[in-house]
Chain A
Amino acid sequence: MSLLVVEGLTKTFGGLRAVSNVSFAVEPGAIVGLIGPNGAGKTTTFSLMSGFQRPTAGDVFFMDERITGLSPDAICLRGLTRTFQIMQSFPKLTTLQNVMIGAYARHTTVTAARRHAMDIMSRLAMVERAQELARNLTLADLKRLEIAKALATSPRVLLLDEVVSGLTPTEVDELVVLIRSIRDDGVTIVMIEHVMQAVMALSDMIVVLHHGEKIFEGVPQDAVKDPRVVEAYLGEELLLA
């Protein structure tokens, strides 16, 4: 069975159907891109999968276990962690301390957590920033910190919410390399992304949401050809290209 299965996921806010009957499966070792125009329900889907919101209907299965309605911390300890589109760091703590908080998910002692955090930070080329307060970091470093914290919890599946958006092209390229290397280390990745350069380069599979509904699922090459996707999301810009 697939590592992560989303089945008929639905979330309504009053009369608004933010996510409507969305289903997809994520295979181990894959990078899945979750795309769609603004307000399509991508981040809500992440919140439902990671336990921050309770679905109105539908289920999430992780490693053959139903995790619907579990709290985010319980889901994290099972091996599924998310990052936030609006970066959620601990601003008054140093970068190292930020990453250590994630490491405590797997390590009980401070020494072990610190060692693990330093390993993660050296992999992400953040060691020089270790003693810097999180609130003093640049946007690019904050995005990296967001990934570092989540990675420190040693996840099986990592949900990345727009970690590339807002970066310069060079920074995007660096992050693409980094995300691929994380996958190569055995972490399955689901990523919400607007930057098509990154999505196309990374994704093995793409799920497209529009008005809360899934309108496409398949390989990236087919996504750009699909008329519904083009109409809903990619727009004329891509048609011209």
Chain B
Amino acid sequence: MSVRALLTALVAGVVLLGLPRFLGEHHMHVIIQILLFAYLSLCWNILGGFAGQLSFGHALFMAAGAYTSTLLLLHAGISPWIGMIAGGVIAAALGLFIGYLSFRYGIKGTYFALVTLAFTEIARIVALNTPAIGGALGLYIPIQTDDFWHLKFIQKSHYYYVALAFLLVALAVNAWLERSAFGHRLVAIRENEDAAQALGINLLRYKLQATALSAFLTALGGTLFAHYVTFIDPHTLLNMNMALELTIYAIIGGVGTLWGPVLGALFLVPLAEGVRAAFGQSYAGIHLVIYGAVLIGVILFAPDGFIGVLRSIRELRPRRAPAAQSSEARS
């Protein structure tokens, strides 16, 4: 079994590393977006999936990363690799602030979602009206030359490799949550707060830790996003669509699972891109209508997301296998 897993990983690795050789610019663009949003969705998954605290505040955390690193680069010439850490720290601090306000008073579920959404909206309005950080016009990141230290690449494929590395980090963090005491505690909180508390789990402490970790990693993705698109403004980063999209990928793929957010992004990003290419001129925002339809379908027919569907297919299989074996043994 482990040999098979190793082989799968090897093949996947070779395919993923070699992919840029065979794809054009546009396809690379779609794939980079898939990786980036899969990464962001996995970061959301730490708080929204494992700890079960539905957050629409991740657009804010992403923007914190994007703005901090960009401002540091523009004004002080500081490398985005350092800037993203600074952005991560700021995002984590914001997360702790919002989290403390909410969790201290037992706000959870939809109410927590609304609180986080409100903070994202506040941030959008503040950013729109603060000329020092670009206001409504936003900030441009000047394109220089190929420079890894400044996260600037002429070739898209280089962004692809960076995004791929990010995704692997997020997968590793999520895999760790699945296996660690910390992750198990978060799941316990998600499944039943009273029971978790009765068994000695400090709800506030673990929710805040999950928020900080989730916000920090999301901000790193925000920096990468900013440098990939080379332009940030409140309309793209701090709008409700961004807040919803990160959530929807995870929900459709399978909330609180390792591969769910990846599957969600893998399915929805190309779908949105295709729909946008086909109808974007005449029907702006049509991809959101499609998202809505898919979301309704998933909630009705596959409440555990794509992962849930895959699991139930897998569970059906072994039951047949022993029956087949025993009939062979008899003959």
- Chains A and B form a bound pair: yes
Give the complex CA separation of A71 and B201 in angstroms. Answer: 10
Determine if B195 and A104 form an interchain contact, defined as CB atoms under 8 angstroms apart. no
Contacts of B199 in A (CB 8 A): 73, 76, 81, 101-102, 104-105, 149-150, 152-153
Residues of B within 8 A of A101 (CB): 184-185, 188, 195-196, 199, 201
Q: Which of A27-35, A85-93, A214-222 touches B? A: A85-93
The verdict on B146 contacting chain A, using a C-beta distance below 8 Å, is: no
- Beta-carbon contacts of A95-123 to B below 8 Å, as 1s and 0s? 00100111011011110010000000000
In the assembled complex, the Cα of A93 lies from the Cα of B187 at a distance in Å of: 9
* B316 at interface, CB cutoff 8 A: no
A72 interface residue per 8 A CB criterion: yes
A76–B188 Cα distance when bound, in Å, is: 16
A interface footprint on B182-209 (CB within 8 Å = 1, 0 otherwise): 0011011001101111111111000000
A152 CA to B195 CA, complexed, in Å: 13
- A-contacting residues, B154-197, CB 8 Å: 179-181, 184-185, 187-188, 191-192, 194-197
Q: For residue B202, which residue of chain A has the nearest CB?
A: A73
Q: How long is the Cα–Cα vector from A93 to B194 in the complex, in angstroms?
A: 15
Interface of B is mostly: helix
The smallest C-beta distance from A96 to any residue of chain B, in angstroms, reads 11
The answer to whether the Cβ of A61 comes within 8 Å of any Cβ in the partner chain is no
Shortest Cβ distance from B194 into A: residue: A88
| Total interface residues in chain B, CB < 8 Å | 19
* Complexed CA–CA distance, A102 and B197 (Å): 10
Interface residue A233 (Cβ < 8 Å from any Cβ of B): no
Kindly identify which residue among B181, B191, B194, B203 contacts A84, using a CB–CB cutoff of 8 Å: B194
The CA of A232 and the CA of B199, in the complex, are separated in Å by: 34
Our pick among A92, A107, A149 for the contact of B195 (Cβ within 8 Å) is: A149
Contact assessment for A88 and B195 in the assembled complex, using a CB-CB cutoff below 8 Å: yes
Q: Which residues of B contact A110 (CB under 8 A)?
A: 179-181, 184
Inter-chain contacts of A177 with B (CB < 8 A): none
Contact A90 B200 (CB under 8 A): no
Is the beta-carbon distance between A52 and B184 smaller than 8 angstroms? no
Residues of A142-185 at the interface with B, using a CB-CB cut-off of 8 Å, are 149-150, 152-153
Chain A residues near B192: list those with CB within 8 A.
88-91
- A20 contacts B by Cβ under 8 Å: no
B198 cross-chain contacts in A, Cβ below 8 A = 50, 52, 72-73, 76, 81-84, 88, 150
What is the bound-complex CA distance between A215 and B195, given in angstroms?
31
Distance from B107 Cβ to chain A, minimum over Cβ atoms (Å) = 17
Provide the residues of chain B in CB contact with A92, threshold 8 Å.
191
Not counting A77-B200, A91-B192, A105-B200, a sample of 8 additional A-B residue pairs whose C-beta atoms are within 8 angstroms of each other reads: A71-B202, A73-B198, A73-B202, A88-B194, A101-B185, A102-B199, A104-B200, A104-B201
Provide 19 A-B residue pairs closer than 8 Å at the C-beta atoms, listed in order of the A residue: A71-B197, A71-B202, A73-B198, A76-B197, A76-B199, A76-B200, A88-B195, A90-B187, A93-B191, A97-B184, A101-B185, A104-B184, A105-B199, A107-B181, A108-B181, A110-B180, A110-B184, A149-B195, A149-B199
